């Protein structure tokens, strides 16, 4: 009878795993979706013979156990980096590495990796699928014209004005690096400042 119980627990666990795999496949094109993975563990085990300690010149003997079924230990979300795609929309964003976007539905903040955003009629950046407001710090210009973000302030809705402009700044310095081919001859170089 125990063998039947073990088989049934295996079937039930496999059914759960198939459900998780089906959910992963169904959401393969969902923006920001994180797939899940099932981990199994032994539900019960029966000791058929006990362990014995070493005696004389002989080593010890491990116990003999038989598993009596399986159970789902966990269903874990895999938080690995997904592939990035160019959508052609200037408001679609992606996070490479750790982190989440903060969105707000009016009653609280939520965290997401889905960066399919658009502008609503008021110029507020919103998540396309939910309409939740995208939250962040306001970027402003300093008195010198440099843009900066003050992360000491609380986050708020991101407003993008259709007629907003930002002054361009000329590049003031540059760093260049490279490798010299050791097989090439010495060439004279003239540097002129303009």
3-state secondary structure of 21: helix
Query: pLDDT tens, 55-70?
Result: 888 888 898 888 888 9
Q: What is the pTM of this model?
A: 0.59
pLDDT at 122 over 80: yes
**Separation CA 144–CA 172 (nearest Å):** 14
**Is the predicted pLDDT of residue 101 greater than 80, yes or no?**
yes
CA gap 133, 124 in Å, rounded: 7
Can you give the pLDDT at residue 166? 66
Q: What is the pLDDT of residues 140-194, one digit of tens each?
A: 777 777 778 889 989 999 988 777 776 777 888 888 888 878 787 777 888 887 7
Strand partners, 141: 147
With tokens 């979300």, the residue in question is 77
Q: Which residue has the tokens 């010149």?
A: 57
The whole-number pLDDT of residue 188 equals 81
Structure confidence at residue 139 as a pLDDT band (50, 70, 90):
confident
Question: What is the pLDDT, as a whole number, of residue 119?
Answer: 93
Taking residues 135-142, what's their average pLDDT? 85
The predicted-structure confidence for 38-50, as pLDDT tens digits, reads as follows 999 988 888 888 8
Of 47, 85, 81, the C-alpha closest to 64 is: 47
Give me the DSSP letters along 49-107. E--B--BTTBPPBPPEEEE--EEEEEEEE----------S-TT-----SS--EEEE-SS
- The set of long-range contacts for 104-107, using a CB threshold of 8 Å and a minimum separation of 24, is 104/132, 104/133, 104/135, 104/157, 105/130, 105/132, 105/133, 106/133
Percent of the chain with pLDDT over 70: 98
Answer whether residue 54 shows pLDDT above 80: yes
């Amino acid at each position: 009878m125990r063998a039947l119980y073990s088989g049934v627990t295996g079937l039930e666990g496999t059914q759960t795993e198939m459900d998780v795999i089906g959910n992963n496949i169904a959401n393969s094109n969902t923006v920001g979706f994180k797939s899940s993975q099932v981990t199994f563990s032994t539900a019960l085990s029966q000791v058929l013979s006990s362990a014995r300690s070493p005696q004389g010149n002989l080593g010890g003997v491990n116990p003999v156990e038989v598993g009596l079924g399986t159970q789902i230990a966990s269903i874990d979300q895999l938080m690995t980096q997904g592939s990035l795609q160019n959508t052609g929309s200037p408001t679609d964003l992606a996070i490479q590495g750790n982190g989440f976007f903060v969105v707000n539905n009016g009653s609280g903040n939520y965290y997401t990796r889905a960066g399919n955003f658009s502008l609503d009629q008021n110029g507020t950046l919103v998540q396309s699928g939910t309409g939740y407001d995208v939250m962040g710090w306001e970027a402003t210009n300093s008195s010198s014209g440099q843009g900066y973000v003050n992360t000491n302030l609380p986050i708020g809705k991101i407003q993008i004005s259709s007629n907003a402009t930002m002054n361009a700044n000329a590049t003031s310095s540059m760093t260049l690096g490279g490798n010299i081919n050791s097989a090439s001859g010495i060439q004279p170089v003239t540097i002129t400042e303009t």
